[in-house]
Amino acid sequence: MPAFTFEKISPPVRRAPVATTPKKPRGLISQMIDRVAARRARRTLHAERAMRRDDKPEE
């Protein structure tokens, strides 16, 4: 028979909710890509509106 016995000790029960980690600020490159994408979307939308205006028949 072994001279030592080991008991499994369970971790303490958490009573408080787990704290959420704060979001890291976005990197500079991500911000630059977002700006380029927003400008491109705005430019495309503006071009589509101009095309629609040109397609309407004038009376």
Q: Could you read off the pLDDT of 9-47 as tens digits, one per residue?
A: 888 887 777 667 777 777 899 999 999 999 999 988 888
pTM score, whole prediction: 0.42
pLDDT of residue 46: 83
Mean pLDDT (whole number) for 37-59: 78
Which tokens belong to 43? 């430019």
Task: Tokens 């408080």: give the residue.
Answer: 16
pLDDT grade for 56, boundaries at 50, 70 and 90: low
